[in-house]
Structure 1
Amino acid sequence: MSSDWLGKDFYAVLGVPKGASVDDVRKAYRKLARDNHPDARPDDPRAEEKFKQISEAYSVLSSPAKRKEYDEQRTLFGSGAGAGYRFTGGAPGAGFDISDLLGGIFSGGTRTRAGSSQPRRGADVETEARISFDQAVDGVTVPLRTTSDAACRDCRGTGARAGTVPRVCPECEGSGMQTSASGGLFAMTEPCRVCRGRGMVVDDACPTCHGSGRGSSSSTMQVRIPAGVRDGQRIRLRGRGASGERGGPAGDLYVTVHVNPHRLFGRSGDHLTVRVPVTLDEAALGSTISVPTLDGRSVALKIPPGTPTGRTFRARGKGSIRRDGTRGDLLVTVEVQVPDELTDEARAAMEAYRTARGTADPRSTLFEPQG
């Protein structure tokens, strides 16, 4: 039974009651087909679709077997029931159609259905790439060697020895599936036990793949890692995975990128970060310092007087490349260095500074009562 039947009222399409005879169905069809034939209504864009609906309704209601099956389905589920009942889940492309459940309900014995012998999408392939920090910022093309499932090269995926061909499975008639029913309401659909769901039987198996039609394939490909990629980011390359079966499309290649850390620079979104030491006098009195950039050049950065450790300055346009081609910024965080040892002259200068500073305590606010 076609899944398209579930949401259609063929009696309404032909304009006949449920108990209409085959002659009544035939008369209604002939009249509607004549009036709605595309050649008779060349200016009506809906004529062709209407004609298809009429023809489909007639093909079901004029056949006693199809009509009985259709009527039983409508009685069980109600008029129009089942329309839109299509569920999907799990792996991409793996769907559940309610017609799969209903396919063998109304007929006893064993029934076959199509599906398993249809083209099948290839599996996705996972791999990893390790690149430098600079390459992650600017983008790079790297060679990647992958191993994936593929059609056997000797039999070209047929599973049969060279010079022979598989034959259609006589049990499932090439569908690869069987629906077994014991005369009850429900049935069970499973892969054909004779061909194991392939729809074809191999009498003389390929000695390389032992009849499976599959093998492993290793290849090296050039993969472009985009600029601005982050450590741990997963990149998807469509159609670069394992080849499909029976003419199906190839799967996808997923590349997890690992970025080696840089000795100076870090990342914060689209921005680069760097920590730069400044001397005590530079922080207190102010200065202009040179800050390195990732491209090996330097940028001048003005440090205003009274700059504390931890303050961050921004060098615009010196960061990572964004998707639109623009660059982020370089975020420069200063660290005020306190000398471990002082010369006699430096110590005297610091003593003089302490005397000049007076008795002001920068920690006094820490001990104020909370309001």
Structure 2
Amino acid sequence: MNDVAELKLFGLAHARAQNVTQAAYQEICDRIDSDDGDRPGSWTGEWTRAAARLEAEGRLLEACAHYNLARFPAVDGPARERAQKKCVEACAAWAADHAVTRLDIPVLGDTVPCWASGLSAAERRPLLLVMGGIISIKEQWMTLLAQASRLGMAVLVAELPGVGENPLPYSADSWRMLSRLLDAVSDRADVEHTYGLTLSFSGHAALRCAAHDRRIKGVVTIAAPVATFFTDPDWRRGLPRITVDTLARLTRTTPDDITGDMSSWALTDTELAAVGIPVHYLATREDAIIPGDDVHLLRNAVPGTRVLEYRDEHAGPGNALETRLWIFLSLLRMRRVGGPRTALLAAAAGLLALRRRLTGALAGARRPRPTA
């Protein structure tokens, strides 16, 4: 079983990313006292029951988000497996009315399910490849898929190997899957101009892929490990249990393997020098998962790196709106898209950043000064 306190702490960022308000999140969490199957009071049980009520009311996207949280952080038994299945089914029902299609793509001897929009042989648009981290399933990106036409891009959403419906094991070579996905849609998208919105550990895979596959022209990522995470076993021994257990499940190893030698996963100096593309990276100062040294390394090794830093926990749950604006603005800037929309997004993001800095300054001013 997962630690309930860790579930509540780390689930918040994923709830906020799916437009679940903090009040609604807290209301459900207040009913949770265990991680025991799907009984009343359990993590999966309470989120599943809330999802079923939303689904019965026809609020399919909200139901998807709640089923997603029910299977968080990963399928580890029948209860979470049922929640994930219900999540996929609810999203499929919503997708049928929103020009979003499911693709089952042959990759490395298996089949990787994806969601896609904007693919067209007649009008091959630049491709946005979207992937979350070790606990983010593809179904949480449905709203973005529906916005493909506004982005002027085709969108392909996949999962990191081992996550959700992706049957592949997660490994240091998982970057190869990204190239196979580009191959699969090359007749319906301009994959020579591919941009990755690849968060956390999928950001690591995308950076390694970019060093080998020149079709990737830019990467937007949040809290991606680079090298120090993998070369510093002391850091990994201090990781939250939920992170270690999930990584072990995806890599089909054991927690001891995750806290042991993972140095072969680290991006090398040669690989980082070969990236050579814009990389927009969102970091947080209070990240308990990704060491700050990785951010500094990337900034120094890849000249095209631009870093936005929050004083926040992993993935920045307290700054969800600014993060969304930053993502869209990063993609537009990487593609050199100007005009009124870009200017408006830049102004809105600037105002949110100013509010964040002022709020932080006021909070700092209110802190009592240490005494001798």
- Give the TM-score taking structure 2 as reference length: 0.18
Higher helix share: 2
Larger radius of gyration: 1
- Higher relative contact order, chain-length normalized (CA < 8 Å, sep 6+): 1
Higher strand share: 1
